[in-house]
Amino acid sequence: MAILLDGKIISANVKSEVAQEVTRMKAKGITPGLAVIIVGDDPASRTYVNNKKKVCAEAGVYSEEIALPADTPQDQLISLIVSLNNRSDINGILCQLPLPPHIDDKAVIAAISPVKDVDAFHAANVGHIMIGDYTFLPCTPAGVMEMIHSAGVTVEGKNCVVIGRSNIVGKPMAMMLLHENGTVTICHSKTKNIKEICKNADILVSAVGIAKFVTPDMVKPGAVVIDVGMNRDENNKLCGDVDTAAVSEVAGYISPVPGGVGLMTTAMLLKNTVTAAKMQNAFIEN
């Protein structure tokens, strides 16, 4: 039976470390600040934003929500971002995705200063991740790595398979595993023999967005299985990409949904915000 990688416990450890850092920074007159922009009233986005505000408050990070109507013009949103770029009390800027169809998310991401891009979506930060010379890591893949490390698993020399090739999870996830000397395969909708490829993985990360896509016959006995998916099953209950109950009989470690990677994502956002504040204030710990 697989050992559960409990996102609640692992993220609590990260948040506790961040809170201690924030306390030390405040003692020197520095309060990390995060601005979160939400455009429109998408229910899932509202839930995510509320969760981010909550974890900021718990860690002592200043957070400022800016809620804009769904019909906000793109140039107005970009002007807002430029003004936040220029504020010294705001160290991190996050624009909640997805944006309304009339707004080009690439233009919005490009408008955020790379030093305040705590999502690590800006092209400059993506480039730094590619060459391994980075300040920020995208929050969800960084959370996955934290989970793997918490299990005491070494990536070096392992066969690693990432299902999904999105810019937000799949691609940076593959790079992070590669930076730790894993042998990485990315699978996607055009991949042939996906079952056989996954079956060879020592570490399997699924971010495909299909409910219960990963079944026991796709998993190597004893493998680490990380489920990034957030879907609804046939009973409209939250579930991931992995058939958790069945795969738990085969895997060595497994992350649950809910209660897994999602909690890690918000914890790593906090970590990035504090990193940004340190960098912008040239904060050096004694």
In 3D space, the residue among 90, 182, 199, 198 whose CA is nearest the CA of residue 141 turns out to be 182
pLDDT on residue 284: 64
Work out the percent of the chain whose per-residue pLDDT is above 70: 99
Does 164 lie in the same domain as 256? yes
Does 109 lie in the same domain as 66? yes
Place of tokens 């013009």: 73
Residue 190 predicted with pLDDT over 60? yes
Q: What is the CATH number of the domain that holds 88?
A: 3.40.50.10860
Residue 286 predicted with pLDDT over 60? no
Does 215 lie in the same domain as 150? yes
- Number of structural domains, the chain? 2
Separation of alpha carbons 247 and 235, rounded Å: 20
**Pure H helices in the chain:** 7-26, 43-59, 74-85, 105-111, 123-131, 139-150, 170-179, 194-199, 244-247, 261-280
For 118-127, what is the mean pLDDT? 96
Does 154 lie in the same domain as 98? no
Residue-wise pLDDT tens digits, 123-166: 999 999 999 999 999 999 999 999 999 999 999 999 999 999 99
Separation of alpha carbons 141 and 125, rounded Å: 14
Does 154 lie in the same domain as 99? no
Does 242 lie in the same domain as 151? yes
Q: What is the CATH number of the domain that holds 167?
A: 3.40.50.720
Residue-wise pLDDT tens digits, 262-278: 999 999 999 999 999 99
The whole domain housing 39 covers 29-114
The answer to whether residue 102 sits within a structural domain is yes
Does 255 lie in the same domain as 182? yes
- State pTM to two decimals: 0.94
Does 163 lie in the same domain as 88? no
Place of tokens 């990688």: 5
CB 211 within 8 A of CB 238: no
The answer to whether residue 236 sits within a structural domain is yes
The answer to whether residue 281 sits within a structural domain is no
CB-side neighbour CA atoms (13 Å) of 237: 6
Active-site residue numbers? Answer: 52, 96, 119
Q: What is the 3-state secondary structure (H, E, C) of 135-201?
A: CCCCHHHHHHHHHHHHCCCCCCCCEEEEECCCCCCHHHHHHHHHHCCCEEEEECCCCCCHHHHHHCC
Instruction: Tell me the two tokens of residue 7.
Output: 């996102």
Does 231 lie in the same domain as 144? yes
Does 143 lie in the same domain as 110? no
pLDDT on residue 186: 98
A 10 A CB-CB count for 86 gives 9
Separation of alpha carbons 132 and 51, rounded Å: 30
The answer to whether residue 6 sits within a structural domain is no
Does 77 lie in the same domain as 146? no
| Cα dihedral value 227, 231, 237, 241, nearest 10 | -30
Residue-wise pLDDT tens digits, 26-81: 999 999 999 999 999 888 889 899 999 999 999 999 999 999 999 999 999 999 99
CB 88 within 8 A of CB 29: no
